Amino acid sequence: MKIKSLVISALASSLILTQLVPTMAQNPLLQPFNTPHQTPPYAQIKAEHFMPAMQEAMKQGRAEIAQITDNTAPPTFDNTIVALERAGDLMSRISPILFHLNGAETTPDIQKTVREISPLLTEYGNDIQLNEKLFARVKAVWDQRAKLKLDTEGAMLLEKTYKGFARNGADLNEANKAKLREINKELSLLSIKFSENNLAETNAFALEITDEKDLAGLPEFVKEGAKSTAKKMNKQGWVFTLQAPSYGPFMQYAENRELRKKLWTAYNRRGFNGDKYDNQETIQKLVKLRYEKAKLLGYQTWAHYVLEDRMAETPEKVMEFENNVLGYAKTAAERELKELTDYAKKNGFTENVLQRWDASFYAEKLKKEKYDINDEVLKPYFKLENVLDGLFTLTNKLYGLTFKENKSIPVWHPDVRAYEIFDEKGQLLSVWYGDYFPREGKRAGAWNNTTRQQYFDNGTDIRPHVVNVCNFSKPTETKPSLLTFREVETLFHEFGHALHSMMSHVKYETVSGTSVSWDFVELPSQFMENFCTEPEVLKLFAKHYQTGEVIPNALIEKIKASSNFMSGVGVSRQINLGLIDMAWHYAVPNGESVAVLEKRIAEKTDLYPIIEGTAQSTAFGHLFAGGYSAGYYSYMWSSVLDADAFEAFKEKGVFNKDVAKSFRDNVLSKGGTEKPMVLYKRFRGREPKPEAMLRRDGLMIAQ
């Protein structure tokens, strides 16, 4: 059953059929998608279409569940597990579209629709997962699993189906099921509220500059972008926002320290301003409810509940892992910060301690002095279209893929580009969308989304629809979109997630593509970042946007030499975020405030002074509006995997087709059909070695 595409929580209401009938014939969500590859007809879809369409999808889904529970034949794998997997097809088609739009192109009407629909979806999911008759049939099949002689994928589907029920309250008594329903309902609504508050706070702030002297230090590309933003907002001068393409360069280059402080403070006060968008109370409620849900289901804490089904297995193992990496990273970070502080003092900094709004500014200058390289030097070589072409060429060399833009595929915004991706035999592998520029209705950050999963339907291979969303600088009147090197890595990262979905070749949607253990899901994405520093890969796409000159070897050497610049600080920050996550979820909630909790973690991990009145948790969407609660450690965990995996390519050559085929066959195409470590060992021939990450990130010499 494709419950994973639902948001979990609330009281279902049902529309009378006669209310639905007049709408159904005109509702594009309820008609066949007469578009290339049955892609969503975004131009025809309006917010008001979703409620009646979802009501109909829930009606059909409930009927399909009833067919399973009313079946008088003894429960079998086919008539129960596979039938459950096939139920809810209409819901699986519609709900991903709604939640994709709510992230990439939301409006007040879509936000209102999500708030209204999410409780209904939660209750719909509850009605399935808490259905006694259905669980009895699932358990009957589970109990006879040793006799069924299922193949590997079938055995995994059975295990995930059974555990999906068992871990979501199917064994609870009626009173506790009722409690669980209410908890799920409130969790859903609180996550939506958190996300909406975050978006509102991000959009609300604008740093307006009218005196050109306040732009001192900013490269021309940054000033041009700010001028364009001001023009769109009908403002005079230059405007800087909290969106990454605006915020990041300002913090790196602006000489006006007070303005850096102002922008940094605004960014780090999101959701922490004591106003109607404040997220502190929302966090407390979320954490408390997650703990109550875990206890109700028989677990010690939310972290114990989440991690039972992950590679790490226990919070104790996560804490050991995080603290071990911190031991290497913090030693390196202390050395790096001393070097940065000494450099700053030699260059006019008069205080004893660098503040957080000084870090990027002086790091950029120090990097330029040490390696004669910075974003201003590199950006002309990283025109977005060229980087995409290089990414396409790389995946062609590795996996034989070809890309063809298809402008007849509907998109949700004119900036979006849609492609058909074909395999080495010329067969359609996937539809892929790239959405790369910030706008008001789009949340910050970068992510991958799959609006249709790959699976087999009666022998037909249903190919996926995959979306990459980023927030890069838009083209201006005089320049194309030019990426920083970190943005190049981000583009490769998200495309790694996309490849995981595109390459999927499994029978069942439940184990398709990125439907894997959360601490394994970042392997394909982080793995792709490794290619960005390889000379033979850079030469595929790093071409000066004006002259066409391929990036010179001297610059490539500088990229390589600087690749571990401030890596100790960067890894320490990731550990800090992971420990904040565990502090919220590997504990009994006691009402500890956001400020107190974060200070407690910062004293262990941070080297910069703590700034009162700012917070990270209140805008930490991964934890409170995404799927990373008790799982943020996954990024560092996957770093061990991806560094070790890439060493296999380094050993044989970065374009080695045999290694690429093994990675595709054993990791990318398998989804969640087997345990992650089994898949990894089949690719690598052994378990991953942490030393690969320490070597790559320059941390081996730290102790």
Contact status, residue 644 vs residue 689, Cβ threshold 8 Å: yes
| Cα torsion 480, 483, 487, 492: sign | positive
Contact status, residue 271 vs residue 279, Cβ threshold 8 Å: yes
Contact status, residue 303 vs residue 582, Cβ threshold 8 Å: yes
* DSSP structure string for 404-472: EE-TTS--SSTT-EEEEEE-TTS-EEEEEEEE-S--TTS-SS-EEEEEE--EEETTEEEPPEEEEE--P
Name which of 670, 346, 344 is nearest 501 in CA terms.
Answer: 670
Q: Which two tokens mark 540?
A: 């595929």
Nearest 10 degrees: CA dihedral of 113, 119, 120, 126? Answer: 150
Out of 123, 322, 494, 674, which one is annotated catalytic?
494
Find the angle CA(616)-CA(618)-CA(621) to the nearest 5 degrees: 90
Q: First vs last Cα of the chain: how many Å apart?
A: 50
d(CA 555, CA 565): 15
Q: Do the strands 447-452 and 455-457 form a parallel or antiparallel pair, or are they unpaired?
A: unpaired
Beta bridge partners of 419: 405, 432
- Residue 238 in 3-state DSSP? strand
Contact status, residue 283 vs residue 624, Cβ threshold 8 Å: yes
The reply to whether 494 belongs to the active site is yes
φ, ψ at 482 (rounded to 5°): -115, 130
Residues 6+ apart with CB under 8 A from 211: 237
| Tokens 């699976």, residue located | 455
Amino acid code (one letter) for 500: H
Q: Do the strands 465-469 and 428-435 form a parallel or antiparallel pair, or are they unpaired?
A: parallel
d(CA 386, CA 392): 10
Contact status, residue 647 vs residue 692, Cβ threshold 8 Å: yes
Q: Please tell me the total number of residues recorded for the chain in this structure.
A: 703
**b/e per residue 339-370 (b: at least 16 CB within 10 A):** ebbebbeeeebeeeebebbbbbbbbbbbbeee
DSSP state of 106: -
CA atoms lying within 13 Å on the CB side of residue 25? 4
d(CA 393, CA 398): 9
Nearest 10 degrees: CA dihedral of 223, 561, 387, 413? Answer: -50
| Cα torsion 223, 224, 229, 230: sign | positive
* DSSP structure string for 153-198: HHHHHHHHHHHHHHTTTTTS-HHHHHHHHHHHHHHHHHHHHHHHHH
Annotated catalytic residues are 494
